[in-house]
Chain A
Amino acid sequence: MALVGLIVTFAGFVLAAASVGISSSTTGRLGMVLVGIVLSLIGILGVINPAYQKNAVWKK
């Protein structure tokens, strides 16, 4: 699951960086960048962290 989370996180960055080539309008780029940031945050906080919390020392 951590690997999936890393892929999602990285995909968010790729989307944001690619926004400059995909769209020529500032508003369009802004939308894509924001989606990319949210995607990366989901990857980190919603996938990777919970995966590691499953084996947290305080649960043992």
Chain B
Amino acid sequence: MRIMKKVLLAFSITWCLALAGVVHAQAPAPEPAAAAQAPAAAPAPAMITDADISGVATPKAEDKAAGDPAGTITGTAADIPRADAAKGLAISDVVSAVGQNLIATNFIWTLVTGFLVMFMQAGFAIVETGLARAKNSNHTMMMNFMVYGVGMLAYWLIGFAIQEGGVGAVANLGGTAPLNSEYAITLFGKSWGLFGQKGIMLSGATYDVGVMVMFLFQMVFMDTALTIVTGTAAERWKYSAFIISSFIMGAFTYPLFANWAWGGGWLATLGSSYGLGHGYADFAGSGVVHSVGGITALAMAILIGPRIGKFRRDGTPNAIPGHDIVIVLLGCFILAFGWFGFNPGSTLGAAANGNLRISSVAVNTMLAGMAGSFSAMYYMWLRYGKPDASMTGNGLLAGLVAITAPSGFVNPMASVIIGLIAGVLCALSVEVVERKLKLDDVVGAISVHGTNGIWGVISVGLFADGKSNFGGAWNGVAGSVTGLFYGDMGQLVAQLIGVATLIGFVFTFSFVINMILEAVWGQRVTAKVELEGLDIPEMGALGYPEFVLKPEPAMGT
């Protein structure tokens, strides 16, 4: 019994000791006493020297000779130009390559979008020709074809210099500044830029790669304005008069207003000089391009008069349908496509300075065009019982015209609103122009481009939301363009001064020029030529020689 108690006691002690060891082993290790730590010295910044990069591995000659199907050895440090071949790759070489790539990105962007805008000439050509009668198709198409060359010649000779001769350095395009002479006067204590004086025939210091990009891009915009007028005056405009009138418009009318808005002239400086927002802001040209074209078209419509048979003796209008609605709508699609160059390209770059906003600009553009086509179509459907094809196409264009100025400054919701209003405005304006003013506008250019160009200019002053940031400033005023609905009434006033300039100055200037041309040359063809069709008398050939043109029905008088 005594032995059993001793064994039991020893066993219990052993178990207790074992359990204590296990518990002890599973207990979390006590936190070690915090060791006193001396504050770590900030590591010295690693300085990269030329020696660090001069030995960067480059593909071996034998690897390059074998070809590169995966693209892994194409585009390496070996492709960075070395300023000193003997010294090898230096940091300055790398930094220079970054800068050149940034500018090259902007060059490519601006040039390619400019090519898209050039293609819009084809869109305008077939829209106008389709809305004209077949007997005038050659003449109408030739006006649109040659307005490209006539405008370019005028612009190269002097127009570009007037518009951009004093614009100074364009940072996105390399920052060189040969366009550095603006003629200005002093009014109310401030400088008012009126026209540029450098860049005639792209000669002298303006023979510069950055200036070349600017010339191409601005030239295709100028030509859009010129071609608008041909649509209104079609079917009775003398071809020779069209050439002279368009030349003068490309040389003087358009470049003057464009200088004031984009070339550093007085409209752009309304903000920096007089505290009116950011000055007249027109991102891609609702005013500069479309309103100048539309207002000049208005002047021409008044001067040249309506087509024979357009109005009855009591003034009520006759519809004169175009000969090919299919190519009209195809032309509208081409224009919508080209507008992806017109608006997004107006950043003049895709890298740095907030230019990634090109995505927003593109989406704003397509939304407004879509909205305009819908509202025009439904307006016509409700009012006349049919979804009219030509007005639907014009509604698309009206939305695109209206969003052109605000596209860089507004959000998608505003874009849709602007487009919806534009479509209805276009349809209403066509009725007013035709029925109240008794003006004959063959394609509706006054309403699409003039009325909605002005609506687009005003839209900036209302809807600009202050969220854009193109390099921290616009027209020399820090911050983002902001409209009335976001707190800046001054911006609206600046826009309205632009509108007043378009209506009051551009109309007067265009009207006087064409009035003189009417007096010394004559703008309109004879009644005989007009009734026969302009193709044979003016151009010497029919647009559709294989087809027999049927006699026109007698117009109600």
Contacts and interface: CB of A to CB of B under 8 A. Distances in A.
A58 B315 CA distance: 8
B511 interface: yes
Given A10-B508, A26-B493, 20 more contacts: A6-B508, A6-B511, A6-B512, A9-B503, A12-B503, A14-B504, A16-B500, A18-B188, A20-B276, A27-B489, A29-B493, A37-B496, A37-B500, A44-B503, A48-B302, A49-B302, A49-B437, A56-B311, A57-B306, A57-B527
Nearest to A60: B313
A9 B295 CA distance: 13
B493 A33 contact: yes
Given A17-B497, A20-B497, A49-B302, A30 B489 contact: yes
Given A26-B490, A37-B496, A58-B306, A20 B507 contact: no
Given A26-B493, A41-B503, A58-B312, A9 B306 contact: no
B274 A44 contact: no
Nearest to A27: B489
Interface in B499-522: 499-501, 503-505, 507-508, 511-512, 515
Contact of A40 (B273, B312, B507): B507
A13 to B, nearest CB: 3
A33 B500 contact: yes
Interface string A11-49: 111111111110000110110011011011101110011
28 contacts: A6-B511, A9-B504, A9-B507, A11-B504, A12-B500, A13-B500, A13-B503, A13-B505, A15-B500, A16-B497, A17-B501, A20-B188, A20-B276, A21-B187, A21-B189, A26-B276, A30-B489, A33-B500, A36-B504, A40-B504, A40-B507, A41-B503, A43-B504, A44-B503, A48-B511, A56-B306, A58-B313, A58-B315
Contact of B501 (A6, A13, A52, A59): A13
Contact of A45 (B276, B437, B515): B437
Q: Range of interface residues on chain B?
A: 35 or more
B354 interface: no
A32 to B, nearest CB: 9
Interface residues of A, number: 37
B504 A10 contact: yes
Nearest to A56: B305
Contact of A19 (B187, B312, B439, B497): B497
Report the 9 A-B pairs with minimum CB-CB distance, sorted nearest first: A13-B504, A21-B188, A16-B500, A40-B504, A58-B311, A20-B274, A40-B503, A12-B504, A13-B505
B310 interface: yes
A50 B504 CA distance: 17
B305 A30 contact: no
Contacts of B303: 52
B556 to A, nearest CB: 11
Interface string B138-177: 0000000000000000000000000000000000000000
Nearest to A48: B302
B438 interface: yes
Nearest to A39: B504
B117 interface: no
A33 B496 contact: yes
Contacts of A14: 504
A53 B310 CA distance: 14
A58 B440 CA distance: 11
A55 to B, nearest CB: 8
A31 B248 CA distance: 34
A57 B302 CA distance: 12
Contacts of A39: 504
A49 B493 contact: no
Interface string B302-325: 110110101111010000000000
Contacts of B306: 56-58
A3 B507 CA distance: 13
B511 A36 contact: no
Nearest to B305: A57
Of B310, B497, B501, chain A has the most CB atoms within 10 Å of the CB of: B497
A33 to B, nearest CB: 5
Contacts of A20: 188, 270, 273-274, 276, 497
Contacts of A19: 497
B258 interface: no
B442 interface: no
A18 B159 CA distance: 26
A4 B276 CA distance: 32
B499 A13 contact: no
Nearest to A21: B188
A36 to B, nearest CB: 5
Contacts of A53: 438
A21 B191 CA distance: 12
Contacts of A58: 306, 310-313, 315
A36 B489 CA distance: 18
Given A33-B496, A58-B310, A52 B302 contact: yes
Contact of B499 (A21, A26, A37, A44): A37
A34 B496 contact: yes
B439 A49 contact: yes
Contacts of B499: 37
B179 interface: no
Interface in B478-504: 489-490, 492-493, 496-497, 499-501, 503-504
